[in-house]
Every structure is written in C-alpha cells, then in structure tokens.
Structure 1
Amino acid sequence: MNPQFDYIFELFTLLISLAVAEMLMGFSRILKLRARRKAGVDPTAIEVRVGWLVPMLGLLVLVDLATFWSIIWSMRGVLDMRMATIFGVLVLIGGYYLVATLVFPDEPELWPDFDAYFWQQKRWVVGGMLLINLATATASFQLGAQTQEQGELMAQAAQQNPPFAIAMLILLFNYPAFLWLALTKGRRRSIVLMVFFTQLFFAATSWGIEGLL
C-alpha cells in the first residue's frame, strides 16, 4: 500500500462521514416528525405522506457512497499526497455531500407529500451521482488502479462462479440506468431503477473471493 494513502484516506473518511450523517439525519427528521404528530405533542404538525420514493432515493445514495468508498480503497496503491489528489477528493466528496443535502427536505412539515419533493430534486441528485461516478471511473482508469493481476482474478472468478459473472454484467448497465433514472418521469420506472442499483447481489456473489472487495 502507498504510505501516503493513509493521509488521503483520513481526509476522505472525514468528508464522506459528513455525507452519511446528512443522510441519516434526513431519516431521523422524518421519524421525529411522525412521532410528534402521533403523540399529539405538536398540534401544528401536519399529516405528511412520506411514501417510498424519497426513502428509496436516500438508500440509493447510501449504497452509492459505500460503493464509492470501496472504489477509493481499491485505488490505495496509486493515490499519493499531491495537491491535485487533495483537490480531486474535495471535489468528489463535496459533490456527494451536496447531493446528500438534497435528498430529504430540511423542513419536512412544509412538504405534505414527499413525492412532490422527489420530483423536484431527483434529476439533481441522480445526475450528480452519475457525474461523480463517471469522474471516479475515469480517474481510476487513468491512474491504473486495477492491476493486470486483479483483472485476471475477476475473469477467473467469473468463469468459475456464474452468479458473480451475472453481477458483473449488471454493473455494466449502471451508467445508462443512472441516466434513465435522472430523466424518467414515471413512478414505477423510478422505483424499479432504484432497486436495480442495489449492490447486494454483487457483494453476495463476491463474498469469499480472495482479493476482491
């Protein structure tokens, strides 16, 4: 491992923790609002319909943050302590934090129907994630983060483990699916696409394969 990576990773961990905390606070605000209304301690609390769209978008951002963390970890051998690296980390994680702040409304009581808020912010949130993922993939490719040995390991694992090969194939469609989700105006299509991004299948099929995250 590059010894300078430890300093970069500390900065990365600090910034990504803020984005994760923002997401968790969004879920917390919803639960507290509903608790106040049900307990009757806040007579002014209005009936808020949360629905599925905003929470699923929040889970999607959390999953993508976890995936981004694994990608950065895979680049530990090529990242060093340079101004360009620090600036790149700040831009990417700053973008994630900005995206995280847009998922949940700061004042839930002002949005009686969270679906309306979802349609206001979806394009910005999903479009932001798409740009960040493209920038990260480009940086990983240019820096040569994936070694020939790792590529051969993944190819061998795909041949010996068909579910893992299917999971890798699904990952190839992430970028067009992100774009489709950003542009679609259909409720059902949005839900299906947000479920599509779940990385649990890839994580489950790669479990136990030595050398893979």
Structure 2
Amino acid sequence: MNPQFDYIFELFTLLISLAVAEMLMGFSRILKMRARRKAGVDPTAISVRVGWLVPLLGLLVLIDLATFWSIIWTMRGVLDMRIATIFGVLVLIGGYYLIATLVFPDEPELWPDFDAYFWQQKRVVVGGVLLINIASTVASLMLGAQGAEQVAAAQKAALEHPAFAISSMIMLLNFPAFLWLAFSRRRIVCIVLMGFIVFTQLFHAYATWGLEGIL
C-alpha cells in the first residue's frame, strides 16, 4: 500500500462518514415520525405519507456509498499526496455528501406526500450518483488501479465461481439503469429500477464473499 494513501484516506473517511450519517439520520427521522403518528402525539405527522420512493432511494444511495468506498480502496496503491488528488477527493466525496443531504427532507412535516419530494429531487440525486460513479471508475482505469495481480485474480474467480462472473456482468447494467432511473417519470419503473440496482450490489457483495483479492 502507498504510505501516502493513509493521509488521503483519512480525509476520504471523514467525508464519506458524514454522508453515511446523513443517510442514517434520514431513516431515523422517518421512523421517529411514524412512531409519533402511531402514538397520536403529533397531529402534523399523522398527515404525512412516506411511501416507498424516498426510502428506496435512500437505501440505494447508502448501498452505493459502500460500493464507492470499495472503488476508492482499490486505488490505494496509486493515489499519492498531491494537491490534485486532494481536490479530486473533495470534489467526488464532497459531491456525494451534498447528494446525501438531498435524499430525505430535513423537515418531513413540510411534505405531506414524500413522493412529491422524490420527484423534485430524484434527477439531481440519481444523476449525481451516476456522474460520481463514472468519474471514479474512469479515474481508477486511468490510474491503473487494477494491476496485473488483481486482473488475474478476477479472471480466475470468474472461471471458478459462476456467481461472481454473473454478478460482474449484471453490475455493468447499473450504469444504464441509473440513467433510465434519472429520467423515468413512472413510479413503478422507478421502484423496479431502484430494486434492481440494490439487488445487483448486494448480489455482487455475496458473490465476492471469501474471494481473495476481490472486492
């Protein structure tokens, strides 16, 4: 591992932790609001409809944050302590944190129907995640983060473990799925696409479990 990566990773960890905390706080606000609604102690919360769209979007972003973290980890051998690297980390991770703050409304009581909030923020959130994923993937390829050993390990795993080969191919469909999700105006299509992306990420995590040298 590049010794300078430790200093860069500290900055990365701080920003990504803030993004994860923002997502968990969003889920926490929804659960607390539902508890107040069931108890009948908050008349405002009673009239709020959460639905499925915003929670699914939050789950998608949270899981994608974990995947994004793994991409940065694969770059540990090629990132060094330069001002350009620091700016790049700030742009990518800072952008991700900004996106995370938009997934859930800060004051849920102001949105009687969370679906309306979803349609207002969906294109910014999904489009932002897609752009960051593309940028990080391109950066990883340009910097040669996947060395000969990692490539050989991936090829061997694909031959010996069919689940890994299938999950790797399905993961390639995430990019068009994100693009479709960003522009779709149909509720059921958005639910299916978000479910598909979440499934592919979880399936890939399962398929790579226990495979040495594979993230």
- The residue aligned with 1:179 is 179
Distance 1:186 1:39, change over 3 A: same
User: What stretches of structure 1 move > 4 A for 4+ residues in a row?
Assistant: none
- The residue aligned with 1:33 is 33
- The residue aligned with 1:86 is 86
Distance 1:162 1:93, change over 3 A: same
Aligned-pair distance for 1:96?
Answer: 0.5
- Stretches of structure 2 lacking an aligned partner (at least 5 in a row): none
- Stretches of structure 1 lacking an aligned partner (at least 5 in a row): none
Aligned-pair distance for 1:37?
Answer: 2.6
Structure 2 CA distance, aligned partners of 1:5 and 1:170?
31
The superposition leaves residues 157-187 of structure 1 with CA deviations (integer Å, 9 ceiling, x where unpaired) of 1111111111000111111111001011111
TM-score (normalised: structure 2): 0.96
Aligned-pair distance for 1:44?
Answer: 4.1
The superposition leaves residues 123-182 of structure 1 with CA deviations (integer Å, 9 ceiling, x where unpaired) of 000000011001101110111000122111111111111111110001111111110010
- The residue aligned with 1:211 is 213
Between the two proteins, the alignment pairs up a number of residues equal to 213
- The residue aligned with 1:143 is 143
- The residue aligned with 1:75 is 75
Sequence identity percentage:
77
With 28-37 and 200-209 compared, the bigger mean Cα shift is at: 28-37
Structure 1 CA distance, aligned partners of 2:19 and 2:193?
22
Q: Secondary structure at the match of 1:49?
A: coil
With 199-208 and 6-15 compared, the bigger mean Cα shift is at: 199-208
- The residue aligned with 1:200 is 202
Structure 1 CA distance, aligned partners of 2:51 and 2:153?
42
